Amino acid sequence: MSDSILRDKAKSFAKNVVFLCREMKSTHKEAVLINQLLRSATSIGSNLHEAQYAQGTKDFISKLEIAQKECYETEYWLELLFETGCMNEETYKDVQNECGSIRRMLISSLKTIKSK
């Protein structure tokens, strides 16, 4: 296990979304929307991974802020795909809760870093 719970959660979330998108693509025609979800959800973890190698505090904060924006975008695509019948309510709630948990951790991390 890595040294970051947040990075681990983001990677696990990205993997879950990859599997979800594969499933949705096999049964629905909304490939553009599904691809948008895939891009934003996997971008969260990639930005957190990149933040590990930031060139200073400002760069670190910037990467976390981008990851936070990607969380908000992911929540939008999840909501849209749910409301258009591409995923059931249980799946939507599970994935939305996972994304919300990561977003709240990012908000907390950013508040902590910015207060220093």
Give 80-100 pLDDT, tens digit per residue: 999 999 999 999 999 999 999
Query: Tell me, what's the pLDDT at 1?
Result: 35
Residue 50 exposure: Cα atoms within 13 Å on the Cβ side: 14
What is the pTM for the complete model shown? Answer: 0.93
Residue range 17-32, pLDDT digits in tens: 999 999 999 998 889 9
72 within 8 A of 49, measured Cβ to Cβ: no
Q: Which domain holds residue 58?
A: 5-115
Q: Which residues contact 76 (CB under 8 A, 6 or more apart)?
A: none
The enclosing domain of 56 has a CATH number of 1.20.1440.60
Q: How far is CA 33 from CA 4, 8, 29, 84, 111, in A?
A: 30, 26, 9, 10, 32
Query: Tell me, what's the pLDDT at 116?
Result: 80
The CA distance from 59 to 55, in Å, is: 6
Residue range 29-71, pLDDT digits in tens: 889 999 999 999 999 999 999 999 999 999 999 999 999 999 9
Q: How far is CA 50 from CA 53, 59, 99, 106, in A?
A: 6, 10, 19, 14
Q: In this structure, what DSSP letter does residue 29 have?
A: S
Tally the residues of the chain.
Answer: 116
Q: What is the tally of structural domains in the chain?
A: 1
Query: What's the distance, CA 96 to chain centroid?
Result: 10
